[in-house]
Amino acid sequence: MPDLGPLAVNLTVTLALVLLLTLTTFWVALRRNRYDTVDTAWGLGFAVVALTGLALSTGHGNQPVRLLVTTLTVIWGLRLATHLHRRNRHRPEDPRYAAITIMATARPHPKWFLLTRVYLVQAAYLWLVSLPVQFTQYLGGEPTLLHWLGTTLWLLGFTLETLADHQLTQFRANPANHGKVLDQGLWRYTRHPNYFGDACLWWGLYLLACDTWLGATTILAPLLMTFLLARGIGGKPMLERHLHLHRPAYAAYTRRTSGFFPRPPGKSGNQPGLPDKPGGNQ
């Protein structure tokens, strides 16, 4: 049985850092009067957790595996944070957060509502989803087939997510597409190819943790991430109302296109699939 004391210390430190990052982000959001700031902090938070774990896990685990899982996580986190920052900085606030802010004003303590129902909830998700990374840094052994499979799945997911975001960015940059729906490229096969890629890469990171039975117990992390991405927890109805209101073609698009898992588009009628996760798409 490995000594889990150092891992427990690491988990405590990273939880404290995630809370500090979240509170700092909330303070920035208050000063900006713009609460979608948390989207940028989401990716940065995973990079902070991974780099902290790498520093604290010196002398534990397997050095190449520690570097591998840290590098993969940091690359994903920084790319996502950069992408979301560039996407949001010259646009009005995300309609989800604007609607949540209006909802909060009806509460006795609106700022407390936003902190506890939006920011701290995302902080909890971030820390829980990062558990396979932290366990791998402390418990990972010599590279095995699982590490190769996990890295391959991560590469597939990262490629899908990056390419889907690029396709959507190019589509939005063309003024002729204003009010239209992107249904070409990866977006022809799923309404959320970037989310599907995101889920794939987190299952890849989970496989890196599975060379030990303790690492395999972190399966809640990829399950939680997949559930959040596929089921659209946290604002789906608001996003759907906005898209159906402002994009007349969106209703037909949802009927013929899968909500999550890629599949050939249907010709007519309802296309089976999972509902949307809010934010960032179309």
Higher pLDDT, 154 or 98: 154
Q: Is residue 36 part of a domain?
A: yes
What is the tens place of the pLDDT at every residue in 221-241?
A: 999 999 988 876 544 445 566
How many CB atoms sit inside 10 A of residue 51's CB?
Answer: 15
Q: What is the pLDDT of residue 96?
A: 77
User: What angle, 0 to 180 degrees and rounded to 10, lies between the N-to-C axes of helices 145-173 and 193-209?
Assistant: 160
What is the tens place of the pLDDT at every residue in 6-59?
A: 999 999 999 999 999 999 999 999 999 888 899 999 999 999 999 999 999 999
> Over the range 71-107, which residues count as b (16 or more CB within 10 Å of their CB) and which as e?
ebbbebbebbbebbeebbeeeebbbbbbbbbeebeee
Residue with tokens 């427990």: 8
- In angstroms, the CA 58 to CA 130 distance is 18
In a 3-state reduction of DSSP, which class is residue 271?
coil
Share of the chain above pLDDT 90, in %: 66
What is the tens place of the pLDDT at every residue in 120-160?
A: 999 999 999 999 999 999 998 899 999 999 999 999 999 99
Q: Is residue 273 part of a domain?
A: no
Higher pLDDT, 158 or 97: 158
Q: Given a cut of 80, is residue 207 above it in pLDDT?
A: yes
Helices (H), the chain: 5-32, 37-56, 63-89, 95-105, 110-114, 120-129, 131-139, 145-173, 193-209, 213-216, 220-231, 236-246, 250-256
- Judge contact between 77 and 40, C-beta under 8 A: no
Q: What is the pLDDT of residue 277?
A: 39
Report which residue type is found at 131.
L
Q: What is the pLDDT of residue 20?
A: 98
Q: What is the pLDDT of residue 273?
A: 37
pTM of the model: 0.89
Q: Is residue 270 part of a domain?
A: no
Residue with tokens 């190819």: 193
- Judge contact between 123 and 18, C-beta under 8 A: yes
Q: Is residue 208 part of a domain?
A: yes
**Could you give the number of structural domains in the chain?**
1
Q: Is residue 249 part of a domain?
A: yes
For residue 115, give its domain range: 5-256
Q: Is residue 274 part of a domain?
A: no
Q: Is residue 278 part of a domain?
A: no
Share of the chain above pLDDT 70, in %: 90
For the chain, the average pLDDT equals: 88
Q: Is residue 279 part of a domain?
A: no
- Judge contact between 194 and 160, C-beta under 8 A: yes
- In angstroms, the CA 170 to CA 154 distance is 24
How many CB atoms sit inside 10 A of residue 6's CB?
Answer: 15
